[in-house]
Amino acid sequence: MKVSTKGRYSLRFLLDLAIQPRQEPVSLKGISERQPISLKYLEQIIPPLAKAGIIRSVRGPKGGYYLNKSPKDITVGMILRITEGSLAPVDCVDPENSFHCPRESECVTIHVWQQMYDAVTNVVDSITLQDLVDEERAKGGEYYI
């Protein structure tokens, strides 16, 4: 599985939101400057994250974005599924897919795909934004991925 730019930038965007103090909305311009991600690209990332309820916006001159959930309740897996879709390497092991392979009963490679899927989901579902915030704070300094 290769994570797209959209997936990587979404994680950076959300991590930036999680690191900032929660009292005031975080401006896209500030995130764009800290993360070197264009405003145009950030604007493309936002709709699916907002639709999924991960972020909310505040309009106006002092507007911006907040996390809609606690960073401890947002996993890397959630973010990647929103931005990338399924994490399954093939359709036959995707729990969201109704695909039924005609070779399923005699296929020996399905175990490879299932183990890959299980390994990836175990990792990304066990890491929260809060874990990444804590790691960044332990490092100190400016935040960049």
pTM: 0.88
CATH of domain 5-139: 1.10.10.10
Tally the C-alpha atoms within 13 A of residue 120's C-alpha that lie toward its C-beta. 20
Query: What is the C-alpha radius of gyration for the chain, rounded to an integer number of angstroms?
Result: 18
- The reported pLDDT for the residue numbered 121 is 97
Helix or strand holding residue 34 (H, E): helix 28-34
- The reported pLDDT for the residue numbered 145 is 46
Domain boundaries, given as residue ranges, for the chain = 5-139
Mean pLDDT per 10-residue run, the chain (145 residues)?
93 95 88 95 96 94 91 98 94 84 85 95 98 91 52
Residue 87: DSSP 8-state: -
